[in-house]
Amino acid sequence: MITYHLLTPQSSAWATAASQIGAIDWPAGGHLAKLMQTATWQPWERVVYATDNGQLVGCCALMAEDIVPDTPYSPFVSTVYVNPDYRGQGISLRLVQEAETAAQAADIDKLYIVTRHVGLYEHLDYELIDQRNDQFGRLNRILYKQL
């Protein structure tokens, strides 16, 4: 059974989540894990961590910044990842919905997603508002949703 956890740096599962997220085969996982281990997190920032019997199923983060520098946009749902063995089950959408709920609980009324995917987040009513290069020079779509 998949369990969704909303984590802060004070959460007992924070270190375990950072370790598992850092081990995924996607550079963004390592980046998020490093932020979890070294960055100062704002009180409303969160990591959504999905597990199945203690093993990472997926994750995402609710963060002030993402990989597109110098934008007027904030906050972001960032680093949405689902383990390949669990894909196709709607888990990525559930992760984003959990981040949205956390944002609303913090009185945040809008969210952004930086992505190169087309069609996934539109299922949750995110709309394209901009395109910008990320810190690696890759063109990304910036999506927006009013909560």
C-alpha distances out from residue 130 to 8, 34, 78, 116, Å: 30, 28, 16, 12
Q: Are 1 and 52 in contact (CB under 8 A)?
A: yes
Confidence of residue 125 (pLDDT cuts 50, 70, 90): very high
Mean predicted confidence (pLDDT) in 126-145:
96
Q: What does pTM read for this prediction?
A: 0.95
Q: What is the pLDDT of residues 51-103, one digit of tens each?
A: 999 999 999 999 999 999 889 999 999 999 999 999 999 999 999 999 999 99
- Residue 81 belongs to what H/E stretch? strand 76-82
* Beta-strand pair 139-146/110-115: antiparallel
User: If you search the block for the tokens 């809008």, which residue do you land on?
Assistant: 110
- Residue 16 belongs to what H/E stretch? helix 14-22
- Predicted pLDDT of residue 20: 98
Determine the Cα–Cα distance for residues 45 and 122; give it in Å rounded to an integer. Answer: 23
- Predicted pLDDT of residue 114: 97
- Predicted pLDDT of residue 79: 97
- Mean of per-residue pLDDT scores for the chain: 96
* Percent residues over pLDDT 90 in the chain: 99
- Predicted pLDDT of residue 92: 96
- Cα dihedral across residues 142, 63, 35, 70: positive or negative: positive
